[in-house]
Amino acid sequence: MSRWLAVFALGLGLTISLFLLLHWPVQAAPPPTYRYVATTGNDSLNDCRNSAYPCRTVQHAVDVAGSTNIILVAEGVYTDLHTRPVPAGYMTPPASDIITQVLYVGKTVTIRGGYTTGFTEPPDPSAHSTTLQVPVGQRGRVVVIVGDVQPVLYGLRIVNGDATGLGGGWGNRDAGGGVYIFTATATLDTNAILGNVAYDGGGLYLVRSAATLVDNLIAENTASEGSGAGFYLHASDATLRRTTLYANIASLHGGGGFLDYSNAELTGNTLFSNRATGSGGALFLKWYSAATLTGNTIESNNAGYQGGGVYLNYSNAVLDANIIESNTADDNGGGLALGDSGALLMANVIVSNGAGARGGGVYIRYGDPDLDRNIVRSNSARWGGGLYLENSDAVLTNTVVTGNQAPSNGGGSGLYIVDSSPRLLHTTISGNSGGDGSGVYVTDEPGSGSAGDVALTNTILASHGVGITVTVGNTATLEGILLYANSINWGGEGSISYAHEVWGDPHFSADGYHLSSGSAALNAGVGAGVTTDIDGDPRPYCTAPDLGADEAVGDFACQNIYLPAVLRNN
């Protein structure tokens, strides 16, 4: 009996609890408290709550605001400089133990610019410019955000900051001319960070901050002696989305941005016409910054040394579906340069980049990255117009290397491979020109004791002066190879072994790598463990995989094309 009473009591308790949840009045969230700022306002004895009687400085409004308050800032230019004591834990304190800025934020508030002086909604930052600016000829940051806070900055122009003498950076450097964020989880939305300067991080410097940047413009900032002219992330797993980085200039590395121990996410950004005197014209990823770059456009940037677009140094980053176009490096890696990095590059288009020495599209030295479903097209360099691999056992899968060039005194217009043992699976290498005429060049550095040894499986090698050149002491193993329209298929005094070769027209479509009806590459491959093609189509589509990066699908894809082409097994 007691057991049934216990069950009844439990059921009754649950019923009452459910009734209370359904019928108890829900406490509504309190309405936000608004504060108002205009250049015509007055800070004296003003708590900024009256839109007809606003405060004059954004700093005063922040000081009187409570957490979660919303501060509306009218159009105009705000230039008042303020000082604060150096915050606890601040890296590299300045000699004076104070820092100077237009705005210091140490609480969770929202600051919105772009309003008329009547504060009509919605704000429009493009029509009603709200500018926070360090006065010309003076020094100080524009914005400092510090502490365990989550402020939001929206619709502000952050202009003319100069962090000289303010410290705050790694290695006793002055950092963050426009915005300096220290241990805060800030959100910057639809701001313009323009014309700021610092040793490192001219536009923006983050320290241990998982900030979010969305729809910002970061332009014409300068890293006067260091790196990260647009932004510098130090131990900060930040997120950047739909942000434009334009015409930023770094004296060392990372014209657009510099990542140091930072697993950031960069998605849908545009990095255009940035410059680094050293490496990483657009981006430099250093010291285990396993960042993820997805869907970015990296175009027309320049590096004085390596990585005109992006330089990876000890970074296992993921680069997915980026467009890397028309970047230049005076030395190596016009589009990308990788040093000691086991990165993953997939579905990127690397086109029309140029390097003065090695790797017009991609330069890899040490590290064994994976390259999957990339297009490397119309790049140029003296050695390795498309790709240059040195001391690297990289794996290239479903890769297109086409239309790349080397000058007359160079070599390996498609790929130049030295002291490396890469694997190329389902690669289309076609129409590369110049240099010694080789689409692929395999060699070693004299005295290195590390010969080149390349394996090409299910490859199309077409339309070169020499399909593949292997110098003495080096090795190439070709299994499943389509040879077409090369003046000479192989050259050099090294060892070349080949099996399951096919002779015939690949019948490329207009893009130079998709297969069309009658292609000699159809169903002519060997099993290589690759289950999809460059488009994600299943491989094989029919009984055997196609050669090259594309697996044809459709009515024509399963035709047997061995006759009149010739199939020969060695």
pLDDT in tens, 158-193: 999 999 999 999 988 999 999 999 999 999 999 999
Q: What is the pLDDT of residues 471-519, one digit of tens each?
A: 999 999 999 999 999 999 999 999 999 999 999 999 999 999 999 999 9
Q: Residue 44 carries which DSSP code?
A: T
Q: Report the pLDDT value the prediction gives residue 561, as an integer from 0 to 100.
A: 43
Residue 153's SS3 state is strand
Q: Is the pLDDT of residue 563 over 70?
A: no
pLDDT in tens, 187-228: 999 999 999 999 999 999 999 999 999 999 999 999 999 999
443 vs 8, residue with greater confidence: 443
Q: How confident is residue 452, by pLDDT bands cut at 50, 70 and 90?
A: confident
C-alpha–C-alpha distance, residues 495 and 469, integer Å: 10
**DSSP letter for each residue of 218-286:** EES-EESSSS-SSEEEES---EEES-EEES-EESSS-SSEEEES---EEES-EEES-EESSS-SSEEEE
Distance set, CA 332 to CA 84, 279, 356, 417, 496 (Å): 45, 9, 7, 14, 28
- Closest by CA position to 566, among listed 503, 486, 483: 503
pLDDT for res 28: 60
Contact 463, 431 (CB under 8 A): yes
What's the pLDDT at 27?
57
Average pLDDT over residues 378-394: 97
d(CA 193, CA 298) in angstroms, rounded, equals: 19
- Cα–Cα distance between 148 and 170 in angstroms, integer? 20
pLDDT score of 12: 42
* 100: enclosing H helix or E strand: strand 98-105
Tens digit of pLDDT for each residue in 16-60?
A: 444 434 454 555 667 889 999 999 999 999 999 999 999 999 999
The reported pLDDT for the residue numbered 287 is 83
What is the distance between the alpha carbons of residues 491 and 206, in angstroms, rounded to a whole number? 53
pTM for the model = 0.92
